[in-house]
Amino acid sequence: MKTLVEHLAQYAAYHRDRRNIASHFIGVPLIVLAVAVLLSRPAVEVLGLWLSPATLSALAVGAFYLRLDLRFGLLMAALLGLCLWGAQALAGQATLVWLSSGLALFVVGWLIQFIGHYYEGRKPAFVDDVTGLLIGPLFVAAEAAFLLGLRREVEDEVVRRAGPTHVRAKQQAVR
């Protein structure tokens, strides 16, 4: 199994334009929420827990993230929990509201993604490796952590392997 840095560096290689990365901060969460919404039916309540395909998927993906890295895994588990909470609220609505909400979130999220990749001039990572669909949300969380000055050792290694973002490369060229 690849390490956290290997996954992030491979994904980051497709995301070196800051406009593309920014688009992922909007598009990826919309897509994750959309998938959670669409997979939240059918569901049953067991011991006060809403069990659905979304719940089972989140547990499996959460375990994958935890196996890669404890700190990012815990963050991703919390974020997936928030998505499940929102998805459950929408899944409890009328079928038209549930389905149209899920589909709209999905379409808008992917439109934003493809706009970002237009600026990047490169196809999305999942086209070459389907695990990119799982790494995308983790990449967004990691980029947020990096912006906050957290996990510098991970950021440095990802940048070393994937190369600097276009903005970083221009800043370094000016120096």
Q: Which residues in the chain land under pLDDT 70?
A: 167-175
pTM here?
0.90
Q: Give the containing element (helix H, strand E) for 19.
A: helix 18-38
Q: How many helices (H) and strands (E) in the chain?
A: 8, 2
Domain definitions of the chain by residue range: 4-174
The per-residue pLDDT for 167 is 56
The per-residue pLDDT for 80 is 98
113-131 residue pLDDT tens: 999 999 988 888 888 888 9
**Non-local CB neighbours of 44 within 8 Å, separated by 6+ positions:** 51, 52
